[in-house]
Chain A
Amino acid sequence: AQSVTQLGSHVSVSEGALVLLRCNYSSSVPPYLFWYVQYPNQGLQLLLKYTTGATLVKGINGFEAEFKKSETSFHLTKPSAHMSDAAEYFCAVSVPLDYQLIWGAGTKLIIKP
């Protein structure tokens, strides 16, 4: 069975600092991995995804994530935080072509001026 753990329900960083949101997963088969972002009062939007191929995946708004099979991790990073990055971020995993996503509990990113 698949599962996802996001470390830290809240992460606070200063504007301009590195953003690192952690996601670890468990899966019995090579998974698909996703990061979604939810801005206040909005729906969830795909940030980036890993399916196959290159393990470093680039997404929208300057975010990227690296699939590390040996560490069962898919951490989300951004070199320099902007105030507009304040949102909730969700990591998810799926068994390829199973259609079901298993969701992490979410991490709220707070940006300090």
Chain B
Amino acid sequence: EAQVTQNPRYLITVTGKKLTVTCSQNMNHEYMSWYRQDPGLGLRQIYYSMNVEVTDKGDVPEGYKVSRKEKRNFPLILESPSPNQTSLYFCASTGTSDTQYFGPGTRLTVL
């Protein structure tokens, strides 16, 4: 089954404790993205990747890092999380005709 997976689905952490949210797709897509979703603000792109070892900032990259060492994986790294990064995070990969396929989401709470 074609899918995008994310882990963990839920995470509660404390300020400053490094964390990684994993994302993997099995559709051999080159383009992948990370979004955050906040009430009233819709979807905002954090980072995207055009291919292996090619990443670029989206609209809200501050406080986040990404890496793309393999085509299928695109982890999101928060090196020193802060409470304003409490949000719902989505990974997406892009197929033909710019169609994006989303993971199930990761709900992050930073205390």
Identify the A interface with B (CB < 8 A).
Answer: 9, 32, 34, 36, 41-46, 49, 51, 90, 94, 96-101, 103-106
Contacts and interface: CB of A to CB of B under 8 A. Distances in A.
B104 interface: yes
Nearest to A43: B102
Nearest to A44: B102
Most chain A beta-carbon neighbours within 10 Å: one of B40, B92, B100: B100
Interface string B47-59: 0101000000000
Contact of A99 (B4, B31, B40, B102): B31
Given A9-B40, A34-B98, A44-B43, 20 more contacts: A34-B99, A34-B100, A41-B105, A43-B104, A44-B92, A44-B100, A44-B102, A45-B102, A46-B101, A49-B99, A51-B97, A96-B97, A99-B48, A100-B45, A100-B48, A100-B98, A101-B98, A103-B43, A105-B40, A106-B43
30 contacts: A9-B40, A34-B99, A34-B100, A36-B102, A41-B105, A42-B104, A42-B105, A43-B90, A43-B103, A43-B104, A44-B43, A44-B92, A45-B102, A46-B101, A49-B97, A49-B99, A51-B97, A90-B42, A90-B43, A94-B98, A96-B98, A97-B98, A99-B31, A99-B48, A99-B94, A99-B98, A100-B45, A100-B48, A101-B98, A103-B42
Contacts of B99: 34, 46, 49
Contacts of A45: 102
Contacts of A32: 97-98
Contacts of B45: 100
A106 B42 contact: yes
Nearest to A34: B99
By Cβ-Cβ distance, the 3 closest A-B pairs, closest first, are A43-B102, A105-B42, A94-B98
A104 B99 CA distance: 16
